[in-house]
Structure 1
Amino acid sequence: MASTIAATRMTFALDCPDAVALAEFYAALLGWRVDRDPTDDGWVEVHPPIADAGASRLAFQQVSNYRAPEWPDGPTPQQAHLDFSVPDLDGAAAVAVGLGAVRHSVQPSETGNWVVFSDPAGHLFCLCRHSD
Structure 2
Amino acid sequence: MTVVVASVVVLDCAEPEKLAVFYRELLDAEEVDATANRVEIRAVDGVRLAFRRDVNATPPSWPRPENSLQAHLDFLVEDLDEAERKVVALGGRPLEAKDAAGPYEERGCCDPAGHSFTLRLRRDTAPKQG
- TM, length-normalised to structure 2: 0.84
* Residue correspondences, number: 123
Task: For structure 1, list consecutive stretches of 5 or more residues without a partner in the other structure.
Answer: none
Deviation per residue, 1:92-121 (Å, 9 max, x gap): 111111111110122513242000001000
- Deviation, 1:36, is 3.3
Query: How much identity, in percent, do the aligned residues show?
Result: 33
Give me the whole-angstrom Cα distance separating, in 2, the residues matched to 1:76 and 1:43.
Answer: 26
1:23 match: 20
**What is the CA–CA distance in structure 2 between the aligned matches of 1:6 and 1:62, rounded to whole Å?**
27
Matches within 5 A, 1:69-88: 69-73=60-64, 76-88=67-79
Measured against aligned partners, the alpha-carbon deviations of 1:75-108 in whole angstroms (never above 9, x if no partner) come to 5543110000011111111111111111012251
Query: Are the equivalent residues in 2 in contact too, given 1:102–1:117 (CA < 8 A)?
Result: yes
Q: Distance in 1 between matches of 2:17 and 2:86?
A: 20
Shift of 1:64: 1.7
Residue identity matched to 1:56 = V
Partner residue, 1:127: 119
Q: Is the aligned partner of 1:109 residue 2:109?
A: no
> Would you say the 8 A contact 1:45–1:60 is kept in 2?
yes
SS in 2 for 1:66: coil
Contact 1:29 1:95 in 2 (8 A): yes
Question: Which of 7, 21, 26 does residue 10 from structure 1 map onto?
Answer: 7
Query: Is the CA contact 1:106–1:116 (under 8 Å) kept in the aligned structure 2?
Result: yes
